[in-house]
Structure 1
Amino acid sequence: MTTGTTTIADIYAALEQVMDPEIPVLNVLELGMITGVTLYEGTAHIKMIPTFAACPAVSYIQQNIRATVNKLTGLPVQVTVDKEVHWQSNRLTDTAKEKLQHFGIAAPQVHEGELRAEIMLNTPCPHCHSENTYLRSPFGSTLCRAIHYCKDCGMVFEQFKPVE
């Protein structure tokens, strides 16, 4: 593709190929990490937000966005962290929630307003769909996950934490 004919839609199509390094079945669009895409003077300008404030993968994801969009569009790419918007778990698309479940991670529950600890207590098991689960630890393999246990199927599973 030549840079003279590249559109915003082409950039979004390229972003569909940028996968999260910790949950490789989800792309940055499904995670709701992209807050803006513009074309200015032949350069793609992409604004993104991390899924967790202390996410150690931010610079890695920025580099993957630059490399993938450049490779697929031929454009120079500038990626900046959007300081105006904070990520919240409600930004996950329905497709992302479905993919998380198939990957064995419970999706965060949709919330409105203030989060309370109770929202993490009734988390359906992504394996058997039982709601007979309990929070084993609010700390999972990464900062954005918690560990749960299903009393029905006996599986330990992670949940993508709800974030407001």
Structure 2
Amino acid sequence: MATGTRTKKSLPLDGGGQGGGERLRPNGEPRKFTPPQPHPIKGRGEEAAIRDVLESVPDPEIPVVSVVDLGIVRDVRPDRVTITPTYTGCPATQVIERDIHAALDAAGFRDVAIETMLSPPWTTDWITESGKAKLHAYGIAPPSRAATATCPQCGSADTEELSRFGSTPCKAQWRCRSCLEPFDRFKCH
């Protein structure tokens, strides 16, 4: 793990502009991602160590899941991490890249490049089983090919879609007819 200058091989999805996607504190100030502190990892390869670091990087829009849980991390090699945003225009992509850079830098992996790959496009099939369980526990119905969603609050399948557009572009707004609670459902794609 040598120190040096990192090369970035990603497409500017916002036209090269700044900002967007910052998580805010209750007082309106931006909340910065605090990367994990470096720790020695003995008897493990660099790829496993890098993956361990990435598993601690939360998704900025759904902080209960990591970028690994969501399947955003496609490939890990000693010299490169390949990511695919959940969709091409995802406003969180730059924040995710920044948080990955910060976590890798803090763990001593300064020479690892981050490459953004758009094809093939991300699919909800890449969300890990652990990620789906975390989404459900957080109150978001995980993606499913079923016509109805299971309410993450009471477990009822008597639910209805209120709007195809939810709190983020990858979620739809649903309501449970049993407990009457609204909830987000991760769109299947």
TM-score by length of 2: 0.74
1:112-157 per-residue CA deviation (whole Å, 9 max, x = no partner) reads xxxxxxx4x4111001110000000000011001000101011000
1:3-152 paired onto structure 2 within 5 Å:
3=2, 7-39=46-78, 44-109=79-144, 111=145, 119=146, 121-152=147-178
Instruction: State the Cα distance separating 1:73 from its structure 2 match.
Output: 2.9
The structure richer in helix per residue is 1
Given residue 157 of structure 1, which amino acid in structure 2 is its aligned partner?
A: F
| Runs of 4+ off more than 6 Å | none
* Cα separation, 2, equivalents of 1:155 and 1:54: 30
* Cα separation, 2, equivalents of 1:84 and 1:91: 14
Aligned position for 1:115 = none
* Cα separation, 2, equivalents of 1:74 and 1:22: 25
Q: Are 1:159 and 2:185 matched, yes or no?
A: yes
CA, structure 1 residues 161+97, in 2 after alignment: closer, same or farther (shift >3 Å)?
same
CA, structure 1 residues 50+74, in 2 after alignment: closer, same or farther (shift >3 Å)?
closer
Instruction: State the Cα distance separating 1:38 from its structure 2 match.
Output: 1.7
Equivalent residues of 1:14, 1:73 under 8 A apart: no
Instruction: State the Cα distance separating 1:3 from its structure 2 match.
Output: 4.3
Given residue 32 of structure 1, which amino acid in structure 2 is its aligned partner?
A: G
Mark the runs of 5 or more structure 1 residues left unpaired by the alignment.
112-118
SS of equivalent to 1:35: strand
Equivalent residues of 1:21, 1:57 under 8 A apart: yes
1:81-130 per-residue CA deviation (whole Å, 9 max, x = no partner) reads 11332110111111111100111000000x4xxxxxxx4x4111001110
Aligned position for 2:10 = none
Instruction: State the Cα distance separating 1:76 from its structure 2 match.
Output: 2.5
Given residue 140 of structure 1, which amino acid in structure 2 is its aligned partner?
A: G
Question: Cα RMSD (Å) of the superposition?
Answer: 1.8
SS of equivalent to 1:73: coil
CA, structure 1 residues 84+53, in 2 after alignment: closer, same or farther (shift >3 Å)?
closer
SS of equivalent to 1:79: strand
Instruction: State the Cα distance separating 1:54 from its structure 2 match.
Output: 1.9
